[in-house]
Amino acid sequence: MVATGLDILLRKSERFQNRNIGLIVNQSSVTADLKYSWNVLKERGIHIRMIFSPEHGLFATEQDQIAVNYQPAPGCEVLSLYGDSAESLLPDMTLLDNLDLILFDIQDVGSRYYTYVNTLALFMEAVSGRDIEIMVLDRPNPLGGAIVEGPMLDLAFRSFVGIFPVPVRHGMTAGELALLYCDFKKLDLNLSVIKMEGWRRSMLFPETGLPWIPPSPNMPTFATAEVYPGMCLFEGLNVSEGRGTTTPFQLSGAPFINPDELAERCREYGLKGVLFRPVWFKPTFHKFSGEVIGGIWLHVTDHSRFRSFATGVAITAALHELYAEHLQFLNGVYEFNDTIPAFDLLAGNSTIRTAILKGRDVQSTLASWQSDEAQFSMLKQNFHLYE
């Protein structure tokens, strides 16, 4: 079984007993025997002065884009880094005056959108030049460390769902991303990574032997994480991404969709490693709450050939081809940004949405980010910590 950075740190915890420590954690920060990091560290005589919690809160009690206010207290002060404004994404600098070490330990899911590592990046920028050490307790990338997919982030589309200059599926761990970002931004930072033991880049999460702790309310399983790089795009459409069901992101739908028609159109694209099953479902909250709507369910049949982002783009193109009079790319406030459509913030550019609206050939659209993938696959090797 893989040993996480947290479990490695606990083997030498006596080194940290005289440090003033803050944690950036949530409920996924657990030991191999499922004890929360903050409890185990305190048992070892390590003083935790403050916990900083990310989007969704310490125990992932809040839905997406909901300000975190009340949080169950684990015996020390907890400060939310996700409130009602973009300013809430950074801590009050005076709260850091009595800290000399920040430990980051949250399970990532391997997609550029997922905001926990973005919280880490913003925190790194905030403490650059200060005498505070940032230490990442590394955990597996559930999608492995080999496959890269999707376009690079156009920095004109930087947002809380797009901070790292990486493709959508980046194939890096949180520790590796931190090293990349420190180099990219030329931060004046005392950064270190506690590496895992036993993790290999070829591993998907089920191969690690670790228990899956849902890191956020709509990430219940590894299967969810696997389809997330593509299906999260639906947050920018007037189509349900399956929130309000027990299988978010694996299914999607809307009142205007004919499930059999959409499934057949998606099959015609010849996408590898995935089957499309027509379904009807009723979300209990979020988009189309209480309505029976038509849609499709993604069944991944080959992990090595499945490309989630390409699948999400292809389904969006199919929706536009079949239901152009109904499909909408949403505007409005999305992750504190009210000037750029949510779909573009997620894609990291406007070219994909534009290509879909113009009816561009789907295969040429899917091929448009291949050079980004190739270039980044080479670049990221400079920051690899694992074989």
Express each pLDDT in 64-76 by its tens digit.
877 777 777 677 8
CB within 8 Å of 127: residues ≥ 6 apart: 96, 102, 134, 189
The DSSP secondary structure of 75-118, one letter per residue, reads SSEEEES--SSGGGGS--GGGGTT-SEEEEE----SBTT-HHHH
The predicted pLDDT at position 51 comes to 95
Domain annotation covers residue 353: yes
Asked if 176 and 141 sit in the same domain, the reply is yes
CATH number of 309's domain: 3.90.1150.140
Radius of gyration of the chain (CA): 21
Asked if 149 and 14 sit in the same domain, the reply is yes
Which whole number is the average pLDDT over 81-100? 89
Count other Cβ atoms within 10 Å, centred on residue 123.
Answer: 24
Instruction: Indicate the pLDDT class of residue 225, thresholds 50, 70 and 90.
Output: very high
- What is the C-alpha to C-alpha distance for residues 305 and 367, in angstroms, rounded to an integer? 15
Helices and strands, number each (H, E), in the chain: 11, 9
For 78, list phi and psi in degrees, rounded to 5: -120, 125
Instruction: Indicate the pLDDT class of residue 62, thresholds 50, 70 and 90.
Output: confident
Tell me the pLDDT of the chain averaged across its residues: 95
pLDDT tens-digit series, residues 157-166? 999 999 999 9
Domain annotation covers residue 276: yes
- What is the C-alpha to C-alpha distance for residues 313 and 307, in angstroms, rounded to an integer? 10
Domain annotation covers residue 214: no
In the chain, the percentage of residues whose pLDDT exceeds 90 is 87
Instruction: Indicate the pLDDT class of residue 61, thresholds 50, 70 and 90.
Output: confident
* Containing structural domain, residue 60: 5-209+378-383
pLDDT at 180 over 80: yes
Asked if 258 and 161 sit in the same domain, the reply is no
Q: What angle do CA 154, 105, 150 make, to 5 degrees?
A: 25
Which whole number is the average pLDDT over 229-254? 98
